[in-house]
């Protein structure tokens, strides 16, 4: 197995971490790998915030749990305390990592203005146009995060790509003092794994691939 495929195969989502500090040089390496990802129209429509400050992480944790409670309030009478406790842990385990990376998306614009104007004259709005082109802004963020996760794995750390904290997107954006147009996408806790992850079941290649 070549080194890249081995790296991609070894990568697993890690949810428990040791307390070891992560040197700033390693953090910059993760982000340097992330920003080398391809992006739609070379928009480079991303921003990353590396957070070590425990007070800031705790504020984000509190915001996420509070917003979770609001989301589940309508179903509260139907939910067991075991479920609620489990869900609280599932959305906030990032707070126990020595490093949390927040990922934001900035506005991306399609390179061909003439085509955009033509589509708008047919009644499409900006959101419709982005969907037509397969939401290349979000795809770009996904590519950057994958690069980041592989860089984390290469350096011997573990991480988890979390999207559920987006229930507190606006509050996280405010806590981190981001620009108004920045859209929160993900939190990625990073650290030395506190356990060895199990291998995962993979679909057979012929289930997801065909050659014509």
CA distance 105 to 186: 10
Q: 94-107, pLDDT tens digit by residue?
A: 999 999 999 999 98
Question: Model pTM?
Answer: 0.93
Give domain status of residue 209, yes or no. no
Give domain status of residue 95, yes or no. yes
Give domain status of residue 202, yes or no. no
Give domain status of residue 34, yes or no. yes
Q: 96-140, pLDDT tens digit by residue?
A: 999 999 999 998 888 788 988 999 999 999 889 888 988 999 999
Find the radius of gyration of the CA atoms of the chain. Answer: 19
CA distance 60 to 173: 10
Give domain status of residue 118, yes or no. yes
pLDDT of residue 126: 86
Q: What is the mean pLDDT of residues 141-147?
A: 98
Q: Which of 73-82, 98-107, 187-196 has the lowest mean pLDDT?
A: 73-82
pLDDT of residue 1: 61
129-162 burial, b at 16+ Cβ within 10 Å, e below that, comes to: ebeeeeebbbebbbbbbbbbbbbbbbbebbbbbb
CA distance 125 to 123: 7
Q: How is the chain split among helix, strand and coil, in percent rounded to 5? A: 55, 15, 35
Give domain status of residue 212, yes or no. no
Q: Would you place residue 196 in the very low, low, confident or very high pLDDT band (cuts 50, 70, 90)?
A: very high
Q: What is the CATH number of the domain that holds 136?
A: 3.40.109.10
Q: How many domains does the chain have?
A: 1
Q: 10-19, pLDDT tens digit by residue?
A: 999 999 999 9
Q: What is the mean pLDDT of residues 18-40?
A: 98
Q: Which of 3-7, 58-62, 181-185 has the lowest mean pLDDT?
A: 3-7
pLDDT of residue 199: 86
The boundaries of the domain holding residue 15 are: 3-190
Q: What is the mean pLDDT of residues 142-162?
A: 98
Give domain status of residue 208, yes or no. no
Give domain status of residue 44, yes or no. yes
More reliable by pLDDT, 212 or 108:
212
């Amino acid at each position: 197995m070549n080194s890249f495929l081995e790296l991609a195969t070894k990568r697993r989502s890690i949810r428990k971490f040791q307390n070891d500090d992560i040197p700033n040089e390693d953090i910059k390496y993760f982000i340097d790998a992330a920003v080398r990802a391809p992006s739609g129209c070379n928009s480079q429509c991303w921003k990353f915030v590396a957070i070590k400050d425990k007070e800031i992480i705790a504020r984000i944790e509190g915001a996420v749990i509070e917003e979770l409670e609001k989301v589940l309030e309508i179903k509260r009478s139907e939910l067991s305390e075991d479920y609620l406790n489990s869900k609280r842990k599932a959305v906030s385990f990032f707070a126990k990592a020595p490093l949390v990376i927040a990922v934001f998306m900035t506005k991306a614009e399609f390179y061909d203005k003439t085509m955009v104007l033509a589509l708008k004259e047919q009644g499409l709005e900006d959101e419709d146009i982005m969907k037509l082109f397969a939401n290349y802004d979000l795809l770009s963020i996904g590519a950057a995060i994958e690069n980041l996760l592989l860089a984390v794995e290469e350096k011997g750390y573990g991480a988890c790509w979390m999207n559920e904290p987006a229930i507190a997107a606006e509050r996280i954006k405010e806590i981190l003092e981001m620009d108004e147009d920045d859209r929160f996408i993900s939190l990625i806790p990073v650290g030395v794994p506190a356990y060895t992850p199990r291998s995962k079941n993979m679909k057979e290649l012929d289930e997801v691939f065909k050659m014509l």
